[in-house]
Amino acid sequence: MSRSIDELLPAKPDTRLRIYAWTPNDPPADYVGLIKVGETTKADVNLRIRQSQGQMQQAYTLHVDEPADRPDGTVFRDSDVRQRLIDKGFANPVLGSSREWIRCTPDDVRTAVTELRLGQQLTGTHHQTFPMRTEQAAAVDRTLAYYASIWAEDPQETPRFLWNAKMRFGKTFTTYQLAKRLGADAGRPVKVLVVTFKPAVEDSWQTDLESHADFDGWQYLSASTGRDPQTADRDRPLVYFGSFQDLLGRDRQTGLIKAKNEWIHTTNWDLVVFDEYHFGAWRDSAQELFAGEDAAVARQELAAEFNPDLAAFEEGLAELSENEDAFLPITTRAYLYLSGTPFKALANGEFIEEQIFNWTYTDEQRAKAAYATAHPGERNPYAALPEMRLLTYQMPDELIAIAHQGEFDEFDLGAFFEADGTGTNAAFRHKDDVQKWLDIIRGGYLPTQVEAMRMGTRPPFPYSDARLLPYLQHSLWFLPSVAACEAMANLLAESHNTFWHDYTVLTVAGPRAGIGLDALPPVRAAIGDGHETKTITLSCGKLTTGVTVKQWSAILMLRNLNSPETYFQAAFRVQSPWSIPNPDGDDPKAEAVLKPVCFVFDFAPTRALRQLADYGMGLSPETPNPERAVEELVNFLPVLAYDGSNMTQVDAGGILDIAMSGTSATLLARKWESAILVNVDNATLRKIMGNAEAMAAVMNIEGFRALGSAIFETVVNKSESVAETKRERGDSLDRDERKVLTAEEREYKSKRKQIQEKLIKFATRIPAFMYLTDYRENTLQDVITKLEPDLFKAVTGLTVADFHLLVNLGVFNATHMNQAIFAFRRYEDASLAYTGIDSHPGLRHYGLYDTVVAVDSAEALAG
């Protein structure tokens, strides 16, 4: 669905909540000494007071008119002010149906407002009563149904389930609802262990448990609560929170479980939850995020993200990926895995479709639109979640020329914003060109102005378009290094850059900014309530994950990022909701949304669209057509691209054309030679060993008969034996024993490599078959179901049924094969179109591929 630029750049609401207090000038006897406390979003408080009086208009005095914003962007309500005064001992008489009158002075009201603004709030527990949203209830129901199906087959089996749930899904609250149902089914108090890879998320786990009425009486324990778990009440539900690094780590001296955590391994848990489940993928993303920091600070940042003992964490990840079952000596009825970007888990086929509940950005925005249509006039529970916009800009040739990379001269943000020096001495190597870039984004660069006049259009540059400027009142600029952040701060402060002097520039990079969340308070202080201030936050990694700053409405991507996890973890910083439910206190259905949309600005279009395409396909691996997945994403994340003269909306096909530009027969061949196409971990090898048909099928693949079927058992047994010995003996191993273990490791790793190579060699035959067949394949499922059986067996050596069986067992990675097949199809279609061949009428051909040389033969792709 294409929308006009005006529709995609809506006006930003200028609304804020205010607390007011007034008294009638000639009050009735019952009202003497009372003051009425209320709230409104109307700019004229007096208008709201007169409205609330209805027909009984009377003279009054307005004593208090104060904003209800806190520095973090949240608001407090008139009910909070009244409750604060009541708790101080001030009377709150019921007058008719009204409870808004308090027997106190205007100064008492002002004091209560100040206390609430400064965070001296009441700490009432279990006061929330909201129910689960539809998708949250669906997640619980589907998970329980899957658990039940596994237990029905084998009561001793421990099922695993993944929630691929975007941030703000409400994973903590929904997890507790799942645990409550498990406890009800078991007929006893439930015991839940929450293991996280990011200890900083503890606050939400504790807050959700202690604030909702559904969990009244539950116990929350962690290392930070200071309570001895052995003293917990066994007759009440228990939640214990801990970090992966601490709970599952070993004592370095003995190699044994830490003494303080032995009780965790001896407890029979009902549910073990792995939060922020990305394993090495999250670690890799974090390493990319902090690549701009100097080495010492980067390591500190990583430690702050994971655990002070980063080395132990990395060792644990390595051991866990080698042999997960043996590394988790925990007794539990079920596992639940939570992640907003589980790309690695999805790509590696760790979970089959029946084990996954998906709730992506697309799902969220689709639900938002559907609810508004189905429930007109009601408060939309998704209304405050802003729709994202991606605006990409092709830089002028003169700027691209000084910082380009790769065969297609992509704009290299890292090279363009390269800087040297520290503090006030930091400066860009291409300072004059960065100055031109600053002029461009505020619409002051002469060549682009001339081009705009010639074309009769004025493209919306971030800091020049009146529709965009309100959303850039508070923005995050994501730069490549500490030096670049400091150089940008220096450049913006120079006397000739008067436009930028209206903004408070905050540099949150390097050791001076603090480590981890220590960098956040100065940002919050500078932003304040967000209405009168204007800020630019410069970062090369800090505050780009796990942080909510409601007032941020735009991010400028000014560095090269390789992974969609990293890109969207940073981008989603600006998608946090900012709204005021029931702003005037008289309509529970009303909500003032202060941020209906948010913006990502990117100046390397090809790279940006490649990330978007990877994100769309990566989070929807079950979608039959990858183009459809991207199409659904951009329906709710519209893309506007400026090509140097015009800015137009880009559809899914155009995004994929640009994202895949440069695809060649050589690159496609490499896709089919990649190790990620096959799985040779112990779990997969066990599946082959346990299935006679699968073993027979594998033995039909070229080269496997020479290896022999015993190779599978050798790899599994030796790898598990080595891992077990290391765990039990640890540092007590002598030199000779270590040599033996090392030799055994080399042996099983070499044999595992042989298995992998034979499977990859088989995979390279698939594109050769696809080239010979007349069918149009979009996915692996198409290859399996639309094949010519005799031709497939002649080319690959396997029957269609054998191949289908091995795919279902996870021997071949369906997600990565889908992507390789889709790339092949687009390449082949364009190649045929280029040569004038249209053997499949009605197929869509893609303009950017018309210059690609046709495929000469199947062998060119099969290597």
Bridge-partner residues for 642, per DSSP?
A: 393, 647
CB atoms under 10 Å from CB of 492, counted, come to: 17
Q: How confident is the model at residue 305 (pLDDT cuts 50, 70, 90)?
A: low
- Close Cβ partners of 32 (under 8 Å, ≥ 6 residues apart): none
C-alpha 532/C-alpha 550 separation (Å) is 15
Q: Quick: pLDDT tens for 87-97.
A: 888 999 888 77
SS (H, E, C) 371-416: HHHHCCCCCCCCCCCCEEEEEEECCCHHHHCCCEECCCCEECHHHH
Q: Quick: pLDDT tens for 422-466.
A: 999 999 999 999 999 999 899 876 665 555 545 556 778 899 888
- Residue 847 pLDDT: 26
Q: How confident is the model at residue 28 (pLDDT cuts 50, 70, 90)?
A: confident
Q: Quick: pLDDT tens for 827-855.
A: 555 554 444 444 444 433 332 222 222 23
Q: How confident is the model at residue 558 (pLDDT cuts 50, 70, 90)?
A: very high
More confident site: 295 or 278: 295
Structure tokens at 28: 């009735």
Which residue in 301, 314, 306 sits closest to 198, CA to CA? 306
- Residue 161 pLDDT: 94
- Residue 475 pLDDT: 97
- Residue 637 pLDDT: 87
- Close Cβ partners of 430 (under 8 Å, ≥ 6 residues apart): 402, 403, 416, 418
More confident site: 770 or 495: 495
Average pLDDT over residues 757-764: 82
Q: How confident is the model at residue 781 (pLDDT cuts 50, 70, 90)?
A: low
Tell me if 465 sits within 8 A of 393, measured CB to CB.
no
- Residue 723 pLDDT: 73
C-alpha 801/C-alpha 784 separation (Å) is 8
Q: Quick: pLDDT tens for 397-428.
A: 777 777 765 544 567 898 999 999 999 999 99
Q: Quick: pLDDT tens for 112-145.
A: 888 888 765 433 345 566 789 999 999 999 999 9
Mean pLDDT of all residues belonging to the chain: 78
- Residue 605 pLDDT: 86
- Residue 408 pLDDT: 46
Average pLDDT over residues 701-716: 85
Over 60: is that where the pLDDT of 185 sits? yes
- Residue 400 pLDDT: 76
- Residue 834 pLDDT: 43
- Residue 395 pLDDT: 81
Structure tokens at 646: 């015009």
Q: Quick: pLDDT tens for 588-642.
A: 678 889 999 999 999 988 888 888 887 887 666 555 566 777 888 888 888 888 8
C-alpha 428/C-alpha 813 separation (Å) is 45
Segment among 371-380, 521-530, 736-745 with least mean pLDDT: 736-745
